[in-house]
Structure 1
Amino acid sequence: MKLLVDMNLSPRWVGLLASEGFDALHWSTVGAKNASDSAIMAYALANEFVVLTHDLDFSAILAANKGRKPSVVQIRAVDVNPDVIGRQVLVALHQMEAELTEGALLTVDPKRTRVRVLPLLRKQ
């Protein structure tokens, strides 16, 4: 699985992800530092990446577009340092790899992990 680490997360995430066998790169190595979230999502979609972010806007983009991809992994924690929450994120990535490959929104916070299959549809 290929992971695109958003600008709001440290480039140190790339090393942690790579150590677990994930193909990862930080947005700063492929795109403009001030790129819009939509541009990052378009790049991820075109290049088959899963987006790793701390930004809630990515889930809003998924909901608005009713898209099936790219998958998004949101870290919902005050401290997003990979030394603090990295292990929990890695466990969630391994457990939910099939869902993320097909299209999912994975939310990881210090107390729990949740996954929603894409597209995000409003419940009737």
Structure 2
Amino acid sequence: MKLIVDMNLSPRWAGLLVKSGIEAAHWSELGANNAPDSEIMTYARVNDYVVLTHDLDFSAILAATHGEKPSVVQIRAEDVSPDVIGLQVIAALRQMAIELENGALLTVEPNRTRMRLLPLNWSLD
């Protein structure tokens, strides 16, 4: 599994993930700092990356496009520092590795982790 760490997260995330044996790069190493989310999603899909973010726009893009890839891991916490929630994120990545390889939306919160397989089929009923 390879991860792109979104611009809204510290580059320290990439370092923590690499130290944990997970291939990762901060988006600032791969593309323009002001790239739209759609460009990051396209890069991730074409290059077989999973996106790690704090931004809800990525899940909205998956829902709107019924995308099957890339997988997205969103951190939903007030403090998104790798020092605070890093170990929980790493544990979730390892536990859900097969689902993330196949296409999933993983949400990591301080008290729980949720996963949905892609494509998302949210109804507005």
Q: Could you state the TM-score of these two structures normalised by the residue count of structure 1?
A: 0.98
1:21: Cα distance to partner? 1.0
1:20: Cα distance to partner? 1.4
Match of 1:39 in 2: 39
Q: Distance in 1 between matches of 2:37 and 2:54?
A: 12
Question: Structure 1: any 5+ residue segments left out of the alignment?
Answer: none
Q: Distance in 1 between matches of 2:85 and 2:108?
A: 9
Task: Show structure 1 runs of 4+ deviating over 2 A.
Answer: none
**1:58 and 2:58 are equivalent in the alignment:** yes
**1:80 and 2:92 are equivalent in the alignment:** no
Match of 2:24 in 1: 24
Q: Distance in 2 between matches of 1:86 and 1:115?
A: 18
SS at match of 1:86: helix
1:100: Cα distance to partner? 0.1
Q: What RMSD over aligned residues (CA atoms) do the two structures have, in Å?
A: 0.9
Q: Could you state the TM-score of these two structures normalised by the residue count of structure 2?
A: 0.97
Counterpart code for 1:2: K
Match of 1:2 in 2: 2
Q: Distance in 2 between matches of 1:122 and 1:91?
A: 27
Aligned length: 124
Counterpart code for 2:67: G
Q: Distance in 2 between matches of 1:29 and 1:14?
A: 10
Match of 2:69 in 1: 69
Q: Distance in 2 between matches of 1:74 and 1:14?
A: 15
**1:12 and 2:12 are equivalent in the alignment:** yes
1:122: Cα distance to partner? 2.4
Deviations 1:31-75 (A, max 9, x none): 111100000000000100000000000000000010110000000
1:27: Cα distance to partner? 0.2
Question: Structure 2: any 5+ residue segments left out of the alignment?
Answer: none
**1:96 and 2:108 are equivalent in the alignment:** no
